[in-house]
Structure 1
Amino acid sequence: MMNRQQLQQLMTVATDAAYQAGQYIANVDRRSIAVMTKAEGYSAASQVVTQVDLTCEAMILKALQPSMAAFDIAFLGEESASDYAIAEHPRLSKPYFWCVDPLDGTLPFTENVPGYAVSIALVSRNGEPLLGVVYDPVSATLYQGMNPAVALGEPALLLRQRKTWRLAKEQAQQPLSVFFDRSFTAQDEFPAIKGAMSDIAAALGYAGIKCFDQAGSVMNAVNMLERAPACYFKFPRAKPGGGSLWDVAATAALASAGGAWVSDMDGQPLQLNASDTLLMNRRGALYASNEAIARQVMLVYQQHRQSAAK
Structure 2
Amino acid sequence: MPSTIEQVADRAMDLALSLLHRDDDGERVYKTDRDFATVTDFAIEDAVREFLAHETPDTGFLGEERGHTGDRKTFWCLDPVDGTTNFTRSVPNYGVSLALIEHGASTLGTIALPAHGERYASRKGTAYLNGQPIHVSKTASLHDALVSTGDFATGTGSGAKNARRLAMIGSLAGAVGRVRMLGSAATDLAWLAAGRLDAVVIDANRMWDVAGGIAIARAAGAVVTHVDGSDYTLDGPDVLATAPAIHGRIVDLLS
TM range (shorter): 0.7 to 0.9
- Counterpart among 31, 39, 44 of residue 51 in structure 1: 39
The CA distance in 1 between the partners of 2:102 and 2:141, in whole Å, is 39
- Counterpart among 245, 248, 261 of residue 207 in structure 2: 245
Q: Specify which structure has the higher proportion of helix.
A: 1
Q: Specify which structure has the higher proportion of strand.
A: 2
Aligned partner of 1:295 in structure 2 is 248
CA contact (8 A) 1:170 1:229 kept: no
**Distance verdict in 2 for CA 1:162–1:124, change over 3 Å:** same
Aligned partner of 2:6 in structure 1 is 11
- Secondary structure of 1:28's counterpart equals coil
CA contact (8 A) 2:224 2:232 kept: yes
User: How far 1:137 sits from its partner (Å)?
Assistant: 1.4
- Secondary structure of 2:56's counterpart equals helix
CA contact (8 A) 1:167 1:226 kept: yes
The CA distance in 2 between the partners of 1:168 and 1:298, in whole Å, is 18
Aligned partner of 1:3 in structure 2 is none
Bigger radius of gyration, 1 or 2? 1
Query: What does 1:1-310 correspond to in 2, within 5 Å?
Result: 9-25=4-20, 27-30=21-24, 32-38=25-31, 41=32, 44=34, 47-69=35-57, 72-81=58-67, 90-92=70-72, 94=73, 96-125=74-103, 127-147=104-124, 156-170=125-139, 175-183=144-152, 187-190=162-165, 192-201=167-176, 209-227=177-195, 230-235=198-203, 242-272=204-234, 274=235, 282-290=236-244, 292-302=245-255
- Output one character per residue of 1:190-238: Cα deviation in whole Å (capped at 9) or x when no partner: 554334224443xxxxxxx222213211112212233356111123xxx
- Secondary structure of 1:221's counterpart equals helix
**Distance verdict in 2 for CA 1:119–1:173, change over 3 Å:** closer
Aligned partner of 1:205 in structure 2 is none
**Distance verdict in 2 for CA 1:133–1:286, change over 3 Å:** same
**Distance verdict in 2 for CA 1:157–1:214, change over 3 Å:** closer
User: How far 1:296 sits from its partner (Å)?
Assistant: 1.9
- Secondary structure of 2:115's counterpart equals coil
The CA distance in 1 between the partners of 2:183 and 2:23, in whole Å, is 21
The CA distance in 2 between the partners of 1:284 and 1:253, in whole Å, is 16
Percent identity (aligned): 24
**Distance verdict in 2 for CA 1:171–1:192, change over 3 Å:** closer
**Structure 2: 5+ residue stretches without partners:** 154-158
User: How far 1:136 sits from its partner (Å)?
Assistant: 0.8
- Secondary structure of 1:265's counterpart equals coil
**Distance verdict in 2 for CA 1:270–1:170, change over 3 Å:** closer
- Output one character per residue of 1:162-187: Cα deviation in whole Å (capped at 9) or x when no partner: 22223344499983111112206x83
CA contact (8 A) 1:22 1:136 kept: no
CA contact (8 A) 2:61 2:75 kept: yes
**Structure 1: 5+ residue stretches without partners:** 1-5, 148-155, 202-208, 236-241, 275-281, 303-310
CA contact (8 A) 2:205 2:239 kept: no
User: How far 1:295 sits from its partner (Å)?
Assistant: 1.4
CA contact (8 A) 1:232 1:288 kept: yes
- Output one character per residue of 1:243-298: Cα deviation in whole Å (capped at 9) or x when no partner: 411111111100111111112223334322x5xxxxxxx531111122x4221222
CA contact (8 A) 2:86 2:93 kept: yes
| TM-score, normalised relative to structure 2 | 0.85
Q: Which amino acid aligns with 2:96?
A: V
Bigger mean CA offset, 100-109 vs 216-225: 216-225
| TM-score, normalised relative to structure 1 | 0.71
The CA distance in 2 between the partners of 1:257 and 1:129, in whole Å, is 11
